[in-house]
A and B are shown apart, each in its own frame.
Chain A
Amino acid sequence: MKKALKLALGIVTSIGGFFDAGNLATAAQAGANFGFQLLWVVLLGTVCLIFLTEMSGRLAACSGHTVADSIRARFGFKKCLFPAIAESIAHYLLLASEIGGVCIALQLLTGYSIRWWAIPVALFVWMILWKGTFSLIEDGVSILGLVALCFVVAAIALRPDHRALLAGFVPSLPDSHPANYWFIAVSILGATISPFLFYFYSSGAVEEKWDKSDLRVNKGIAVLGMGFGSVVTIGVVITAAMVLGPYGIQADRYHEVALLLTKVFGFWGFPLFLGSVLIACLGASLEVTLGSSYMIAQALGWNWGENLKPKENARFALTYSAFVFLAALPVLIGIDPLKLTMFSMAIITLVLPPAVLPFLVIMNDSQELGEHRNGWLSNSIVIFVTLLAFVLAIVAIPLQIAGG
């Protein structure tokens, strides 16, 4: 009974916690510019994420170690320094775009510029981290994040053409704007498979003292939670394709995306959109900050834990405090949050190989995991998607930047 409840809560929090500024921005642009044509990328990213999430939970349950802990123990401090720095930069950009998402929602609600909101939002995020526990952050905010399911309801209500929808799940080449197509594809992969997710998930499993009896719960959360979570992203793609697409709106500004739900929900569409963005970005800000701070603390061998008091892990608390306030700077100086989001999602794709490949080596170590080590299927899928995302990013990012 206890396990069933744990599984249900895990699935619900995964659905609520899946959606963030990156998913919203990339999915809205994909739908508005290319209709259903980029749905296959969402599917590909989700499959890879399911495997990575399951692997990070399995590692924590079987060995009692987190991903960053195990990588440091296996490869040594020097070898994990460069990937840790690269990932921290990518996570910093990601956090800045999540804070920007919260600020934009507040701007659309109040009319006051995002610059006014940057510091108050950073302060609020920091206060939750300082005072809150892991359960509050994971369960509380993620359950509130279920409001994003309104995008799924909107997509169903809009009655998309089933054939066109299914065709979107088959990889295809664009008719026009290929650089933009591949850049959005790369950004979708970056938004779906962010490395902070598996640092956060494995650290959470260790904080909640998972053991081998939790392996089935872990599999259930990874498959059902992440699977259903991606349905929200698919909902955004469909809604954007059917609401913004016919008007030729490119969805490269938040006020354009804010009109997404008004056709289906009427007056309630706008508050629902703001609520979804506010909660999703706030939840993601907390998770990204914690995930990155876990990684840094574990890579450097510091004391860490969200359930500990700040005085018991002072360096960990200092890391997340600095991270949050520094991430407010890009919003404070007026960088457009949506552009920052698209750019940071693409950058995340570039750091995937140094983050994922050492993790795969650990997952194939029989000394660490015994009979629970990876099989050929999970290895092949994760390697394929990671390298594909990396190659696409190498090609698409310069093309997009040079093309303006």
Chain B
Amino acid sequence: MHSVTSLVPSLEERINRGWQCVRAARCAWSTAAAAVAWIELCHDPVARASLLAIALLVASACKSPEQKLQKSISQTVSSNGTLQLTAEAWLDNRVPRAFARLAVKTTRDDLATQSSKVAKSNLPEAGALQREMAILRTAASDLQRGIERGDRASVIRAHTRLVRNAAALREMIDRETAGTQ
């Protein structure tokens, strides 16, 4: 049973929602203003119609914070999968060490970029994603060290963590998909 306090949005949640509204309004306003300006400048009806269509498309493509978060989750799943597959390929001697090192390093860099994007999100689910990303980054660091030293045992341990993390991320993506639908 929910307590009364859990049903009333906290001050932080209210501020977050307010920010979301401001962002959505800013996106819609800038698109509409640009469209109006172009339509005023342009006298050709065909060009007007096509500019309007493009403006509407751009406006409809402005992603909500939830959609942005969903994209970040998909990209994190992709990074997790890449690390997992690279570890498996390295353990089976299917790829050279230089490639495995490069793949892990690039994926770690991608994760760092993704993590900084998620940090800007005010959604409550972003915190859970950041925790998963932190686990993933640790596993990636261990994987990189293991590959560099040729230490199969630590690569196997990192791989096990990646498999577990993949399951957690899949659950998260299912929840998010259900939420946005």
Contact = CB atoms under 8 A, between A and B. Distances in A.
A247 B54 contact: no
A342 to B, nearest CB: 15
A242 to B, nearest CB: 13
Contacts of A111: 98, 101-102
Contacts of B177: 176
A108 B75 CA distance: 22
Given A176-B177, A403-B63, A395 B82 contact: no
B152 interface: no
Interface string B79-107: 01110111001001111101101110011
Q: Is the interface of B mostly helix, strand, loop or mixed?
A: helix
A266 B90 CA distance: 11
Interface string A339-381: 0000000000000000000000000000000000000000000
A259 B84 contact: no
A206 to B, nearest CB: 38
A270 B94 CA distance: 7
Interface in B41-96: 53-54, 57-58, 60-63, 68, 71, 74-75, 77-78, 80-82, 84-86, 89, 92-96
A399 interface: yes
A402 B57 contact: yes
Contacts of A395: 57
A249 B80 CA distance: 8
B118 interface: no
Contacts of B58: 398, 402
B108 to A, nearest CB: 12
Contacts of B62: 402
B147 interface: no
B90 to A, nearest CB: 10
A255 B94 contact: no
30 contacts: A107-B102, A108-B99, A111-B98, A244-B85, A247-B81, A247-B166, A248-B74, A248-B81, A249-B78, A249-B81, A249-B85, A250-B75, A253-B106, A253-B110, A255-B107, A258-B99, A259-B82, A259-B103, A262-B94, A266-B92, A267-B94, A270-B89, A270-B94, A394-B53, A398-B61, A401-B61, A402-B58, A402-B61, A404-B68, A404-B71
Interface of A: 107-108, 110-111, 176, 179, 243-244, 247-250, 252-253, 255-256, 258-259, 262, 266-267, 269-270, 394-395, 398-399, 401-404
Closest 4 pairs between A and B when the two form their complex, measured CB to CB: A247-B81, A402-B61, A248-B77, A249-B81
Given A179-B61, A248-B78, 7 more contacts: A110-B98, A111-B98, A176-B177, A258-B95, A259-B82, A402-B57, A402-B62
